[in-house]
Chain A
Amino acid sequence: MISVRGLTKRFGDNTVLDGIDLDIRSGERVAIIGPSGTGKSTLLRSLNFLEKPDEGTITIGPVTVDARRLRVAEELALRRQTSFVFQNYALFANMTARDNIAEGLITVRGWDRARANARAEEILATIGLADKAQSYPAALSGGQQQRVGIGRAMAAEAEIMLIDEPTSALDPEWVDEVLQLLKRVADARQTMLIVTHEMQFARDIADRVLFMDGGRIVEQGPPERMFSDPEDPRTRAFLRKVL
C-alpha cells in the first residue's frame, strides 16, 4: 500500500511536482503517461528519494516519511521498500550480471553469498539470461542489460517496483523482449508504477493510467476509459498526438 500526500518538488522557480496526491493498492499496476518534462520521472525518483522532494509525505508499506524532516535512516528505510528500473539500465559496471542481481541481497538484505548467488541464478533463468551470469554489462546488448536491471529489481522483492521509461533508451529491436518481461512481472501482481511512452503496453498491463501535465495528475482511470474516452482536453490532445 502506497500513499502520497502533497508531494512537491521545485527546481529553483520551476515547480516540477505540484502537490501530488496518489494512492496505490498492493498488487496494483499503475502507468503514468504524459508529455515530456511534466514531472513523471521526477515523481518516480522522488518516491525513493533519488530526488529530494521539498514537501509532502510518502507512505510505502510500514514506512512513512515527511519530506520536510527527513532523516538518513528513514531515507534508507523508504528505499528498501522500493526497487527501481532505470531508463539507462544503470547496471553496476564493475559486476557481472549475476552479481548485479545478488549485490543488494548481500549488502542490503544481509544474505550470505551462496544463498544470494543461488537466488540470482534463479532470476537469471527467469529472465532468460542463465548463460550470461558471468558477463559484464559492457558485453550485453541493451535489451539484455535492461532485463538484468529488471532482474535486479525483482530480487529486492520490494513493496513497489518503480520503472522509469524502461524502453526509451533501447534500439527498437530490443524493446519487445523488455516489454514481454515486464508483462510477466506485472502478471505476477508485483505492485508497480511505470512511466512509459508505450501506450499499447500501458493499456495491456495497467489497472490504472495516470495522465500528468504541469506537475499534476490531470486525469486518471482504467486504461479502457482513459484511452477511448478521456475527459480532460489536455489528455485528449496528448493522446491524439501519440496514438
Chain B
Amino acid sequence: MRPLDLDYMLGLVPVLLKYVPLTLAMASVAMVLALLLASLMAIVRVMRVPLLDGLTQVFISFFRGTPLLVQLFLFYYGLPQVFSFLTAINGVTAAIMGITLHFAAYMAESIRAAILGVDRSQWEAARSVGMTTAQMMRRIILPQAARIAAPTLVNYFVDIIKSTSLAFTLGVTELMGAAQKEAAGSFLYFEAFILVAIIYWVIVEALTVVQRQLEARLGKAVAR
C-alpha cells in the first residue's frame, strides 16, 4: 500500500470547490423545474384529465424505465442529429433537461400519492366554500400534500445533486469532471476521487439540516 499524497489532496480542495457552485446551480435549476413539471403531471393524473393523463403515464413509464445515462446521451448526442435546432444545445443545458425530466417522472408519482393522502374532508371543505378546482389545489390540497411529500422530495434532491456528476459524460467540467481531469493529469486517482466523494457527502449532509428546518416549518400546522 502506498501512502496518501495529502499535500496533493489539500492543494486540490480549493481547485474542486470552485466547481461546487456549478453543481449546486445545475441541481437547483433541475429540482425547481422537476418540481413544477411533476406537480402538473400529478394534478393531471389525480384529476384524470382526458388525453393528458394517458400521455403523462407514458412519459412517466419511459423516464422511470430507462437509465438516466441513456437519457442524457439521447438528449445530447442523439436528438440534435434528428432535430437540427437542438445542435446549439450545450452540455449543461442538456444535463439539466435530462435530469429534470428523469426526476420529474419519479416526483410526479410521489406528489400524486401525497395529494391522494390529503384527507377527503379537505377537498369537500374547499368545494363547499365554492372554490374552483385550481383554487382548491393551490390553497388547500398542494400545501398539505407538500408536507406529506417533503421528506421524499428532499431525497430526490439529494439524488439530483449526485446525478449532476453524470454531466461530465456530456463534456461538462463540473465537480466530477474537474476531479476526473485533475486525476488524469496527476495519476493520483484515489486522492482525487475520494476528495470529490467527500465533497458530495458534505453537501448532502448540509442539506439534511435544511431538510429538518423545512419539515419543521411545513409541520407547524399539525404541531400542538
Of listed A48, A90, A95, A139, residue having the most chain B CB within 10 A:
A90
Instruction: Please encode chain B, from 136 to 174, with 1 for each CB lying within 8 Å of some chain A CB and 0 for all others.
Output: 000110011001000000000000000000000000000
Q: CB < 8 Å: which of B122, B125, B223 contacts A138? A: B223
**A94-B140 contact given A136-B221, A138-B222, CB 8 Å threshold:** yes
Q: CB < 8 Å: which of B131, B144, B220 contacts A108? A: B131
- Evaluate contact between A107 and B224: CB separation under 8 angstroms: no
Residues of A within 8 Å of B147, CB to CB, are 94
Residues of A within 8 Å of B129, CB to CB, are 79, 83, 103-104, 107-108, 152, 156
Instruction: Please encode chain A, from 82 to 93, with 1 for each CB lying within 8 Å of some chain B CB and 0 for all others.
Output: 111010101111
- Evaluate contact between A94 and B143: CB separation under 8 angstroms: yes
Q: CB < 8 Å: which of B122, B223, B224 contacts A90? A: B122
Residues of B within 8 Å of A125, CB to CB, are none
Interface size of B in residues (CB-CB distance below 8 Å): 23
Q: How far is the CA of A50 from the CA of B126 in the complex (A)?
A: 10
Task: Closest A residue to B124 by CB, please name it.
Answer: A50
- Cβ of B69 to closest chain A Cβ, rounded Å: 39
- Evaluate contact between A92 and B130: CB separation under 8 angstroms: no
Segment 56-111 of A: residues with Cβ below 8 Å from B: 76, 79-80, 82-84, 86, 88, 90-95, 103-104, 107-108
Segment 211-242 of A: residues with Cβ below 8 Å from B: none
Task: Closest A residue to B133 by CB, please name it.
Answer: A72
Q: CB < 8 Å: which of A80, A83, A88, A93 contacts B221? A: A93
Q: How far is the CA of A201 from the CA of B220 in the complex (A)?
A: 37
Of listed B124, B127, B130, residue having the most chain A CB within 10 A:
B130
Q: How far is the CA of A50 from the CA of B223 in the complex (A)?
A: 30
Q: How far is the CA of A108 from the CA of B224 in the complex (A)?
A: 29
Task: Closest A residue to B125 by CB, please name it.
Answer: A90
Of listed A94, A107, A137, A152, residue having the most chain B CB within 10 A:
A94
Q: Is there a chain A Cβ closer than 8 Å to B132's Cβ?
A: yes
- Evaluate contact between B139 and A93: CB separation under 8 angstroms: no
Q: Is there a chain A Cβ closer than 8 Å to B81's Cβ?
A: no
- Evaluate contact between A86 and B125: CB separation under 8 angstroms: yes
Q: CB < 8 Å: which of B125, B127, B143, B220 contacts A91? A: B125
Segment 189-224 of B: residues with Cβ below 8 Å from A: 220-224
- Evaluate contact between A76 and B132: CB separation under 8 angstroms: yes
Task: Closest A residue to B223 by CB, please name it.
Answer: A138
**A94-B221 contact given A104-B129, A108-B130, A152-B129, CB 8 Å threshold:** yes
Segment 95-140 of B: residues with Cβ below 8 Å from A: 119, 121-122, 124-132, 135, 139-140
Q: CB < 8 Å: which of B119, B122, B130, B224 contacts A139? A: B224
- Cβ of B124 to closest chain A Cβ, rounded Å: 5
**Residues of B with Cβ closer than 8 Å to A?**
119, 121-122, 124-132, 135, 139-140, 143-144, 147, 220-224
**Residues of A with Cβ closer than 8 Å to B?**
48-50, 76, 79-80, 82-84, 86, 88, 90-95, 103-104, 107-108, 136-139, 152, 156
What would 20 more interface pairs be, CB under 8 Å, given A86-B121, A94-B147, A138-B221?
Answer: A48-B128, A49-B127, A50-B128, A79-B127, A79-B128, A84-B125, A84-B128, A90-B121, A90-B122, A93-B122, A94-B144, A103-B129, A103-B139, A104-B131, A107-B129, A107-B131, A107-B135, A136-B220, A156-B129, A156-B130
